[in-house]
Amino acid sequence: MLGINFHPEPIGIGKYSGELAQYLVEEGFDVVVVTAYPHYPWWSLPAGGASLHFRKEVKDGVTIIRCPLYVPRQPKGPGRMLQDFSFFLSAWLAVSWLLLKGLRVDWVYSVIPSFPTAFLGGWVKLFRRNALWVVHIMDFQVDAALALGLMRYRWIGRCLARSEQWMLRRSDRVSTLSAAMAARIVEKGVHPSRVLQFPNWVDVGLFHPGTPVSGSLSGLGIPSQGRMVLYSGAMGEKQCLDLLPALALALRHACPDIFFVMAGEGPYRRQLETDCRSAGLEQVYFISIQPEPLFIALLQSAWLHLVLQRDTQEALYMPSKLGPIWAVGGCALVTAAPDSALGALIRKGQLGQLAYPATASCLTQTIIDLYSDPLLHQQYKTSALHYARAHLEKKRIIGDYLIGLGLGQALSMLPAEGKPASESIKHPMP
């Protein structure tokens, strides 16, 4: 497995890559991971992780090679590119060392982002020709960077786009999260027969509805009464959290028992805290990312979950945080256009409330409408829970994926009555 993010990063790509690796080991696979030191979503290296050295560790049967990298304080433009390039160089050294040591490889799994890292899979394939090289796209990094204007010189973006196209056409398989993202891969020149859907999953046995143990959240300094509006995850530019002060001000009198909990880290958090203090917003609370038991308790306690994203690239927007929200029977407010893939899914399944466009006034009115309609709010919670249990179960999703890749060992992962049909990998799921 090749990727810049991995366990113990608590959210995003690192979380899912870590869970996949652990699951494969439990099913009898030998897994070697080449990755960076944990740095997301804090955008900083932990103590002892900033020195220029490689480190090998074994965690629950997974062999992990940690590679040094540069981490910018603000993940924009040149700084972000330098981070990706620094990891690419150190990871290339690590992969080359493993190949020289005679590492046997049956399956190479490259994760995007980071975009340059995917080419390392091709480097392995050059020396292990019988290996299956799979590129898994969690986010179209090049497309998003161009659309958001994060690259000062657009010719650099065009060169990267051509390089991406070249790499995807030469991999054995390309997988991604949704049908809309799969269609985008086909547009880049990959034959549809080589494209698989591999949606993010959720452990429905761990994430489930319930009432947190009394006092379990008392140490976080948040109210025990009222309606919690929860945002959990990375706090960066694309999450449009700059709308929060105006939103909280507008709801202070219209919905007096509502309070906001912002649980996360990222480059925008400090500025957001300053803005909220300046506006006198005492009903907005900031906490760090919590250990899993407390995180589940937060999800179970929230009256409403904010799933925010700027409109750019909305057709390909498929946030991983929705799975845990739906699995606990949460009501999500999602900034997605009604005609986007995510918007259509939510509308059809009544899986939450859409707010579009992503403006403070739109979000305010949407929350007021939900506040005054408890029956609709409950309907969203019920439909979300049913959908998560029917479509997002971890074991079935990974089993489907491995069968789609032609790895026969996947059949042992499911009981006979639960083995998925091979064509099920074609079904669109978030």
pLDDT for 423: 37
State the pLDDT confidence band at 410, using cuts at 50, 70 and 90.
Answer: very low
Q: Does 12-201+393-426 carry CATH code 3.60.40.10?
A: no
Average pLDDT over residues 282-291: 94
Compute CA distances 305 → 68, 109, 288, whole Å. 36, 32, 16
Q: pLDDT per residue over 362-404, tens digit each?
A: 999 999 999 999 999 999 999 999 999 999 999 999 999 999 9
Look over the chain and give the mean of its residue pLDDT values, rounded to a whole number: 88
Average pLDDT over residues 255-276: 93
Q: Are the C-beta atoms of 113 and 139 separated by less than 8 Å?
A: yes
pLDDT for 18: 97
Give the CATH number of domain 218-390.
Answer: 3.40.50.2000
Q: What is the DSSP letter of 374?
A: H
Length in residues, the chain: 430
Q: pLDDT per residue over 6-34, tens digit each?
A: 999 999 999 999 999 999 999 899 999 99
Whether residue 424 is predicted with pLDDT greater than 50 in this model: the reply is no
pTM for this model (two decimals) = 0.88
pLDDT for 51: 62
Query: What span, in angstroms and rounded, lies between the C-alpha atoms of 210 and 198?
Result: 28
- Give the residue among 293, 226, 212 at the shortest CA–CA distance from 261: 226
Q: pLDDT per residue over 167-180, tens digit each?
A: 999 999 999 998 88
Q: Which residues have C-beta within 8 Å of that of residue 335, sequence separation ≥ 6?
A: 240, 307, 308, 309, 310, 311, 354, 355, 356, 357, 358, 363
State the pLDDT confidence band at 309, using cuts at 50, 70 and 90.
Answer: confident
pLDDT for 153: 65
Average pLDDT over residues 124-137: 96
pLDDT for 50: 53
Does 12-201+393-426 match 218-390 in CATH topology?
yes
What residue segments make up the domains of the chain, in order of their start?
12-201+393-426, 218-390
pLDDT for 426: 41
